[in-house]
Amino acid sequence: MTDLLDGVRDHYRATGLTERLKAALTNLGPEEQRLTPQQLATLDQFHTRGLVATTELARLAGIAADMSVLDVGSGIGGPARFLAATYGCQVTGVDLSEPFVDAARYLTERTGQSGQVSFQTASALELPFDDGRFDVALLQHVAMNISDRARLYREILRVLKSGGKFATFDVVLNSGSPHYPVPWARTPATSFLLTAAATREAIEAAGFRMLAWQDDSEAAKAWIAQVRASGPPDPANLGVVMGPDFAQLAANLGRNLLEGRLGVLTAVFEVTPIKS
C-alpha cells in the first residue's frame, strides 16, 4: 500500500511549485493584490472541463452556504476556493501531495479565503477527521489513482453526516488499454481505473445510495475538441503545476476519450439511512 501511495506522490511531486506559481501569476498583478478564484481557473481546476465541471458537480450535490464540504484529493485547491466563493460554504481539502497542499494554501492567501478554506496533507484512505463531520464530500479526478476503492469509499462514508452527499467526477475505463502517460499517471503502475459499473458497485457496497448518474464522455470529447481548436493555452496553465510534459499527458487523455478507451462519469450518492 505505501509503495502505491509513494508512486502516486512521486507523480505529483511538483518540486518548487509555489515559487513557479508566484512567477506565473505576476502578470495578474503584484503579490499583495487579491485574486479571484475565477482568475486562477486555467491552472487550478485539475480535471476535464475545468470550472464548468466543478459548477455542475456542486449543483448536483446541492451545496449550500451553511454546509461543511470536504474536497478529497483537493489538488492545488481550485475547486475548494471556487465552491467557498460561490456558495459561502466552509471547505476543507485533503491531498497526498505536500507541495500541492503548500501551493493550495499560498493561492488561498492570494484570494483572501484562508478563513473559509483550509488544506491538510493526508491520504484519502486515512482521512484525519472524526466520524460524521461533513455535509458533502467531493472527489474529482482522484479515484483513478487509488487501488483500494472499497477503503476509499468507506472512509468517505465514515466522515459524512447521516444523509450526507458524496459527489464524484472521475475518469472510467471503457474498452481496451489507455495510452500512457496521462495526467494522473505516467505509467500504468499508478493508474487504477474501473469501469463506470464497477465504480457504482464499489460505492454502493460501501453503504451509499445513488441519487444521480451522468455519462459525461460526450461533453468531455466536445471540450477536448474546443481546447484543441482554441490555439495556444493561457501561459498560466496546468503545465506550470505538472511540468513541461503536461501537454503530452493532456493530449493522451484527449486521444483516449476520442478513441472511446476512457469515459468520464459524474455521480452523486447519499449515505444510506440506517433502518431501525
Ligand X SMILES: C[S@@+](CC[C@H](N)C(=O)[O-])C[C@H]1O[C@@H](n2cnc3c(N)ncnc32)[C@H](O)[C@@H]1O
Distance of alpha carbon 189 from the chain centroid? 20
| Residue 156 within binding range of ligand X, rule CB under 6 A | no
d(CA 166, CA 44): 22
Residues 182-201 that bind ligand X (CB under 6 A): 183-184
User: Residue from 37, 73, 164, 178 that binds ligand X (CB under 6 A)?
Assistant: 73
Stretches 25-33, 43-51, 129-137, 171-179: which one binds ligand X (CB under 6 A)?
43-51
| 249 sits near ligand X (criterion: CB under 6 A) | no
Under the binding rule (CB under 6 A), the answer on residue 124 touching ligand X is yes
Q: Kindly tell me which of 86 and 272 has the beta carbon lying closer to ligand X.
A: 86
Which range touches ligand X (CB under 6 A), out of 123-131, 172-180, 204-212, 255-263?
A: 123-131
Q: Is 145 in the site for ligand X (CB under 6 A)?
A: yes
Among 21, 41, 90, 95, binds ligand X (CB under 6 A): 95
**What number of chain residues touch ligand X (CB under 6 A)?**
26
User: Minimum CB separation from ligand X for residue 66, in Å?
Assistant: 23
Minimum CB separation of residue 11 from ligand X in Å reads 8
Residue 210, all three cell numbers: 445513488
CA-based torsion, 71, 75, 78, 81: positive or negative: positive
Helical axes 78-87 vs 50-61, angle rounded to 10°: 50
Q: Could you say whether residue 141 binds ligand X (CB under 6 A)?
A: yes
- Determine if the peptide bond prior to 128 is cis (ω within 30°): no
At closest approach, how far in Å is the CB of 213 from ligand X?
20
Q: How far is CA 255 from the centre of its chain?
A: 21
Question: Are residues 49 and 223 in contact, defined by beta-carbon separation less than 8 angstroms?
Answer: yes
Q: Round to whole Å and give the CA distance between 204 and 226.
A: 35
Our finding on whether 12 is near ligand X (CB under 6 A) is: yes
SS3 for 121? strand
Q: By CB under 6 A, is residue 136 in contact with ligand X?
A: no
Query: What angle do helix axes 78-87 and 98-110 make, rounded to 10 degrees?
Result: 40
Angle, nearest 10°, between helix axes 196-206 and 149-159?
50
Running DSSP on this structure, what letter comes out for residue 64? -
Residue 50 is a binding residue for ligand X (CB under 6 A): no
Q: Does 166 bind ligand X (CB under 6 A)?
A: no
Q: Give me the least distance between CB of 211 and ligand X, in Å please.
A: 21
| DSSP β-ladder status, 208-215 and 262-271 | antiparallel
Report the interface residues with ligand X, using CB under 6 A: 5, 8, 12, 45-47, 73-75, 78-79, 94-97, 100, 123-125, 140-142, 145-146, 183-184
